[in-house]
Amino acid sequence: MLFSFEKLIDKCIHSSLLTNCLSSNKLRVIFSFTSKMFKEYSAYTLQEIKEIDRHFHYISGKDKKNLTDKVLKKIWSKKMIRWIVNPDIELCQISLSEEEGRMVGVLEKINNSQKHPERNFLFSPLFYDFEHSFHPNLRKKKLKTVSLICIMSAKNCSNH
């Protein structure tokens, strides 16, 4: 699978729906586990990723609408949202680590190569979900967001 970061949200997300902040114990390992995942997944086809990543799933319906209405509207213009999150675009979640780390993004078929099927799909991350806060059952536990660390600079954080 190929990766593109042009759609990655470069601001801290502080929402009741999700956050892209992380706990201090994950701060030291974030670079290593994201790099390892990108290295590993870039050699796999989408089908292989679905088989090895037990947390891979498509995001649709209510979750897709909530993401648009409660998070993206605060960050992007309506035009940008229509371009990125439209009915023809698939949103999915993949694991960043074997624990809670996830990444949610846009999945697009860009090629039909038989020779290099690992290049047929492009995954464009929208946001990192280090604490897996986008999961409905985990959200009920109410994350202790005061103990989480923002990943962006203060000027890109709505809490500063």
Tell me how far apart the alpha carbons of residues 70 and 74 are, in angstroms, rounded to a whole number. Answer: 7
Does the residue 81 lie in any domain? no
pLDDT above 70 for 143? no
For the chain, what is the domain count?
1
In-domain check, residue 104: yes
In eight-state DSSP terms, residue 123 is: E
pLDDT at 25: 81
Q: For residue 106, give its domain range.
A: 2-58+90-156
- Is residue 69 situated within a structural domain? no
Who wins on pLDDT, 87 or 66? Answer: 66
Residue 10 has pLDDT above 60, yes or no: yes
Question: What local confidence, expressed as pLDDT, does residue 2 receive?
Answer: 92
Task: For Cα atoms 90, 96, 102, give the angle at the middle one, nearest 5 degrees.
Answer: 55
Is residue 63 assigned to a domain?
no
| 155 CB burial (10 A radius; 0-12, 13-18, 19+) | exposed
In a domain, 23, yes or no: yes
pLDDT 10s digits, 60-86: 888 888 888 888 888 888 888 877 777
Q: Residue range 43-54: average pLDDT?
A: 93
Residue 47 lies in a domain: yes
Measured CA to CA in angstroms, residue 38 lies from 62, 115, 129, 160 at distances of 28, 21, 15, 31
Lowest mean pLDDT among 88-97, 112-121, 150-159: 150-159
Q: Does 78 map to a domain? A: no
